[in-house]
Amino acid sequence: MHTRLTPAFVALLTGAYLAPALASESTLPAPVQALRDQGLTIHERFDAPGGLTGFGASAQGQEVIVYLTPDGEHAVIGTLYDSEGENLTEQQLEAAVRVPLEAQTWQSLEQSHWIQDGDENAPRTIYMFTDANCTYCKRLWRQTRPWVDAGQVHIRHIMVGILAPSSPALAATILAADDPTAALTAHSEGEPLEPAAQAREIEEQVYTNNQLFEELGLVATPTTAFKRETDDGLIRLDRIEGLPSNARLVEMMGSEAPNGGASTSE
């Protein structure tokens, strides 16, 4: 795994910098608005037990539930338990905070500057932060071929330049190619690539990808992001930093390698 020295690692997909305000279009109850004015970001509103109204919220990466009392005049931040002593708040945090934040993070990945790898109509999409100087990125590229070649998965490589002085120029050179997918494929297969100056627009694409990498608190390439469904039917985002184990690779790709293909490489 290639890593870069940065401040302490911040988990991918906390989404703090992306946190959408709940309903800037709607009026919040006064106690909840007061908390928002104090710096709390309000996300989803939902009906909670006991006549309470719940609001998913976060501040500086900390996730909480705000409970509005039935009279609408008071708000409590804390943990709600039922008569069996079961923590109800944890599940509410999943649905009312983490899911909407991760949806925003996924949208940011979609809006980044990436290179298509595989059939765009494949049923499964994975985002991968890729540095052209990253040998582990090339290894993971080879590991994923059985699924990509079978049309089951397509990977969107978010090209970043972080590992070496030549990395930004190499990323820009691949992005600016007449066929970026072919250029990335050739490079991943070992064909030498010479960095070259590119148009400012392309260089800015690499810069904005690097910014996203930084904002998500990432420190290593490759880092992959993919969706998974929980037992409760919620769509969550997962990430793998560096080369995955065989079990994690299968989880990331959504199935065992098709057609008897190897799911691991050297």
Tokens encoding 160: 């970043």
For residue 202, name the pLDDT band (cuts at 50, 70, 90). Answer: very high
For 105-118, what is the mean pLDDT?
97
CATH architecture of 112-260: 3-Layer(aba) Sandwich (3.40)
Note the pLDDT tens digit of each residue in 76-111: 999 999 999 999 999 999 999 999 899 999 999 999
Q: Tell me the per-residue pLDDT of 135-149, one tens digit each, with 9 for 90 and over.
A: 999 999 999 999 999
CA distance linking residue 54 with residue 185, whole number of Å: 49
16-104 and 112-260 in the same fold = no
pLDDT at 239 over 50: yes
Q: Residue 260's pLDDT band (boundaries 50, 70, 90)?
A: low
Distance CA 179, CA 197 (A): 17
The predicted structure's pLDDT at residue 3: 38
What's the DSSP call for residue 71? T
Q: How far apart are CA 67 and CA 31, in angstroms?
A: 10
Asked if residues 43 and 23 have their Cβ atoms less than 8 Å apart, the reply is: no
> What does the pLDDT read at residue 78?
94
Mean pLDDT of all residues in 243-256: 96
Is residue 58 a contact partner of residue 97, using CB atoms and an 8 Å limit?
yes
DSSP 8-class letter at 218: -
Superfamily of structural domain 16-104 = Disulphide bond isomerase, DsbC/G, N-terminal (3.10.450.70)
CB 41 within 8 A of CB 246: no
Q: Domain locations in the chain?
A: 16-104, 112-260
Contact 193, 175 (CB under 8 A): no
pLDDT in tens, 173-200: 999 999 999 999 999 999 999 999 999 9
pLDDT by residue (tens digit) across 13-68? 443 334 444 544 468 999 999 999 999 999 999 999 999 999 999 987 789 999 99
Cα separation, 95 vs 89, whole angstroms? 10
